[in-house]
Amino acid sequence: MASFEPQNPDYVAEVRRRFAQQPYNLSIGAEVSDVKPGRVEVIVPTRPDLLQHNGYFHGGLIAGLADIAGGFAGWSLVEADQGMLTIEYKLNIVAPGMGDQLRAVGEVVSRGRSIIVTRIDVFGMRNTETVLCATSLQTLKVMKLPPELLTSAA
């Protein structure tokens, strides 16, 4: 992984705080398990309502988790008054998402002034076995946060 310098000295707290403000993240039981400059890991424990008819994690959940992990990997590098929007991503599901939890690892591949590209791998995990179930590339647009989001930063 390339080495990146965060623009916000409080990037770890900012990523965790912004993550916790998003209702979708909370509704699926997602948690940030690790934050480094340009790299974020997110986990989701298994729950019956997140599974499809064959007992695997739903593909929509896998895709959403990839989007979340990549987006917050990008967010770890921007200034305190910036955020981002996903403008494109491609996902390949390569194995069924199964196990006790899903773990998504988002890593920044390229950091431009207004565009960030990330790569995300999503793993199914059962006890000590880890299986790659999806891989993704994502493009993010860096943007200034609206004033109402900046005032809620406290």
Task: Give the CATH number for residue 133.
Answer: 3.10.129.10
Q: Residue 132 pairs with which residues in a beta bridge? A: 123
pTM greater than 0.85 (yes/no):
yes
Q: How many CB atoms lie within 10 A of CB 33?
A: 13
Which two tokens mark 121? 């791998």
Q: What is the pLDDT of residues 6-55, one digit of tens each?
A: 999 999 999 999 999 999 999 999 999 999 999 999 999 999 999 999 99
Per-residue burial over 131-150, b if 16 or more Cβ lie within 10 Å, else e, is: eebbebbbbbebeebeeeee
Q: What is the pLDDT of residues 135-149, one digit of tens each?
A: 999 999 999 988 887
Which two tokens mark 144? 């200034």
Q: Is residue 3 one of the residues assigned to a domain? A: no
Residue 1 pLDDT greater than 70, yes or no: no
Q: How many CB atoms lie within 10 A of CB 37?
A: 18
Mean pLDDT of the chain: 94
Q: How many domains does the chain have?
A: 1
- Residue-range definition of the domain harbouring residue 67: 11-151
Q: Is residue 6 one of the residues assigned to a domain? A: no
Q: What is the C-alpha to C-alpha distance for residues 134 and 98, in angstroms, rounded to an integer?
A: 11
Q: Is residue 46 one of the residues assigned to a domain? A: yes
Residue-level pLDDT at 126: 76
Please report which confidence band the pLDDT of residue 151 belongs to, taking 50, 70 and 90 as the band edges: low
Give CA separation, 27 vs 8, 47, 57, 100, 117, in Å.
28, 11, 15, 17, 26
More confident: 128 or 91:
91
